[in-house]
Amino acid sequence: MEGQNEIKREHAIYRVTIGGSIVNVVLLVFKFIAGIVGGSAAMIADAVHSLSDFLTDIVVLIFVKLSNKPQDKDHDFGHGKYETLATALIGIGLFLVGAMICVEGLKKIWQVIHGETLPSPGVIAFVAAIASIVLKEWCYHFTVKVGKRYNSQAVIANAWHHRSDALSSIGTAVGIGGAILLGTKWTVLDPLTAVAVSGFIIWEAVKLIRESANELLEASLPDDVEQKITEVTLEEPGVSMVHNLRTRRIGDHYAIEMHVRMPGEMSLYEAHAHATRVENRIKKAFGPQTHIIIHVEPLKEDGGNITPTYK
pLDDT tens digits for the chain (311 residues)? 555 666 777 778 778 888 888 888 888 899 889 888 887 777 877 787 777 777 777 776 776 666 555 655 655 455 556 667 777 887 888 788 788 878 888 888 888 888 777 767 778 888 888 998 999 899 899 889 988 887 777 788 778 878 877 877 887 788 788 877 877 777 777 778 778 777 877 887 888 788 777 777 666 788 888 899 999 999 988 888 898 898 888 766 788 889 999 888 888 898 899 999 999 999 888 877 788 889 998 887 655 566 666 55
- Cα separation, 306 vs 50, whole angstroms: 65
CB 254 within 8 A of CB 290: yes
Q: Are residues 202 and 228 in the same domain?
A: no
- Write the Ramachandran bin of 297: left for phi over 0, alpha for psi from -120 to 50, otherwise beta: beta
Same domain for 11 and 140?
Answer: yes
Handedness of CA 146, 64, 60, 26 (dihedral sign): negative
CA distance 100 to 96: 6
| Count of CB atoms situated within 10 Å of the CB of 65 | 15
152 part of a folded domain: yes
Examine the domain organization and report whether 238 and 273 are in the same domain: yes
State how far the Cα of 136 lies from the Cα of 29, in Å rounded to an integer. Answer: 14
Provide the domain count of the chain.
Answer: 2
Whether residues 241 and 170 fall in one domain: no
Domain identity same for 158 and 248: no
For 303, counting Cβ atoms within 10 Å of its Cβ (0-12 exposed, 13-18 middle, 19+ buried), the class is exposed
Q: Looking at the structure, do residues 200 and 247 belong to the same domain, yes or no?
A: no
- The CATH number of whichever domain residue 294 belongs to comes to 3.30.70.1350
> Are 228 and 285 spatial neighbours (Cβ–Cβ below 8 Å)?
yes
Q: pTM for this structure?
A: 0.60
Q: Which domain holds residue 211?
A: 2-216
CB atoms within 10 A of CB 155: 28
Which of residues 158, 188, 216 is at a domain's end? 216
